[in-house]
Chain A
Amino acid sequence: MARKLLLEHINVPGINTFDVYRQNGGYRSVEKALKTMSPDAIVEEVKTSGLRGRGGAGFPTGMKWSFLAKPEGKERYLVCNADESEPGTFKDRYLMTYIPHLLIEGMIVSSFALGAKTSYIYVRGEMMPQIRILERAIAEAKNAGFLGKNILGSGYDLELYVQPGGGAYICGEETALIESLEGKRGNPRIKPPFPAISGVWACPTVVNNVETIAAVVPIINDGGEEYAKIGIGRSTGTKLISASGNLNKPGVYEIDLGVPVEEFLYSDEYCGGIANGKRLKAVVAGGSSVPILPANLILKTVNNEARLMSYESLSDGGFQSGSMLGSGGLIAFDEDQCIVRNTWNFARFYHHESCGQCSPCREGTGWMEKVLHRLEYGHGKMSDIDLLVDVAKKIEGNTICPLGDAAAWPVASAIRHFRDEFEWHVTNPKEAMERNYGLAKYADPLPKLEEVSQ
């Protein structure tokens, strides 16, 4: 079994309390960072680790930190993005519920590295129990001298607050989150300027995902170089994968990046195979926004190599035959699931969550939802399928924030890989209301690529 970095002590009873967490080596990184390291050295260490943003975009964290502007006389802020709402992703909830002090510890070290004196954890409003857990954990840490004035006698002051959201997926986008934190509607800002220059209250701001912040703790404890040894290629370290859908053992798993998808889905250490002895039909690998892949393409790349759980391997083949690691929200579909229905469901989600600020997303998401609803309920036309592809293309890349892309990709990819099933809904509308299309050829071994003579 691979070594766990984040969830090592998850099964220790009472690990959610300060005392037990501390006894198990907690807050060591704060002592090390504040007493022996300079802020720049911490940023360097994170750069060395190769840590990439765990919220979905996968941008190198050390680089993001080094972009932070440091003008004299202006506050800087670190905001933790705990607005976890991507369908299929629930790792941050898990982490905050069971091991909240890991996040607090990471926040202290990261805030010190960035020179932030006030930091916020923006938690989605629906996670009220987690907000209470974090507030208690903050009080405990403050009581023990890890927060507040002159932490551990280092002269560094930090206040940490939890801010609740109000129920809006879009606030997971960093500039929308900043707007929301300021008490406004969660409309994403137009970039530039980037938050690193002008974020919360026009001050330089870094926004990082919960898991990213938590990963700073093992990086400081063991060193960036040690962290970079785990994983494969540019996908370094461990990653929390939220596994859901038709699996025997859905849940949150910490994996070394680079584990084969097949092993992750079928081994008893992880998901334990497909529930009820059924066969796998499709997988969404990184949260609802990333392209859906049929069973054969998720297990193997087009070159017939095993697909691995890493940023590079999952995106192998681009959007033609690949997907993305995203936020690590893996959703498995068994042979009895209807791809059209699921695509409609996701389209409804994006329609519901579009902020309505820019026109392609505001109007286009609703249009796609309506067309997909028609297809699913047996009133579709053959031309609807191409219409969907076209509308998705009109939205993709033309919006202020990535929600437009996130709404377009699931629709475009479902049609790309499951066109037969969409067409069957048009040609057999009555049958489609009564039964599902089934597995068809979606799990067949991939055809051998033809050799090209040089």
Chain B
Amino acid sequence: MLSVTEHKDINFSSDLVKQFDDIVTRYPEGKQKAGLLPILHLVQAEYGWVSPEAMDKVAAYLNIQPIEVYEVATFYTMFFLRPQGKFVLEVCRTGPCCLVGAEKIMTHIEKSLGVKEGEVTSDGKFSWRGVECLAACGMAPVLQIGPEYTFYEKLTEQSVDQLIEDLKNKI
């Protein structure tokens, strides 16, 4: 259970709502709940995570109970329920990637960023975590970065260093 101390009121931009409107037309009349996952993805892309306030707003938009949104958001691992760094490095940690050194890459990332899995760097720019199979085992080891889930494959310690350096210079 989450204890919410301050309640921040948020309002979805009209552009975002327009995208929601487009999504719910994909389903038959009255089945708008099916739009929940794509809408949560949009919300996360906009705010960096899905806050309880945002979920309440989504529930109101889809005309469902807030708990139905919480249930779904906590089930799927892609949704962040806490604020994250601007760039979240998600490294695959499953079998085939580990055969070719994913564990080494994770240790290296931990050392380079100086934060443990799930934590955010002090400048708020980075966080990282191990995730389960990303279905790219032939290009292992791999990592992805949201919200567009850009893919980086055949990682080496050098290529990870380069990637972090590039991201640091990004605004």
A residues with a Cβ closer than 8 A to B are: 75, 84-90, 92-93, 118, 124-129, 132, 159, 161, 163-169, 180-186, 201, 242-246, 250-252, 284, 288, 329, 331, 333, 337, 341-342, 345-346, 349, 352-353, 355
Contact = CB atoms under 8 A, between A and B. Distances in A.
SS of A interface (majority): mixed
SS of B interface (majority): mixed
Nearest to B98: A345
Interface in B117-171: 131-140, 144, 146-151
B135 A90 contact: yes
Most buried by A among B71, B72, B146: B72
Interface of B: 26, 28, 31, 33-38, 40-41, 62, 68, 71-72, 75-79, 93-96, 98-100, 131-140, 144, 146-151
Contacts of B37: 125, 163-166, 180, 183
B99 A333 contact: yes
A329 B137 contact: yes
B100 A75 contact: no
A76 to B, nearest CB: 12
A338 B146 CA distance: 33
B1 to A, nearest CB: 17
Contacts of B28: 75, 118, 201
A48 to B, nearest CB: 32
Top-10 shortest CB links A-B: A166-B76, A167-B78, A244-B137, A183-B36, A128-B149, A183-B33, A167-B77, A250-B138, A87-B133, A185-B75
B85 to A, nearest CB: 18
B24 to A, nearest CB: 10
Contacts of A126: 78, 131, 134-135, 144, 149
B96 A87 contact: yes
Given A163-B37, A168-B76, A180-B37, A129 B98 contact: no
A244 B138 contact: yes
Contacts of B33: 182-184
Given A166-B76, A329-B137, A342-B95, 15 more contacts: A86-B135, A88-B137, A90-B139, A124-B135, A126-B131, A126-B134, A129-B149, A164-B37, A182-B34, A183-B35, A186-B76, A242-B137, A242-B138, A244-B140, A245-B99
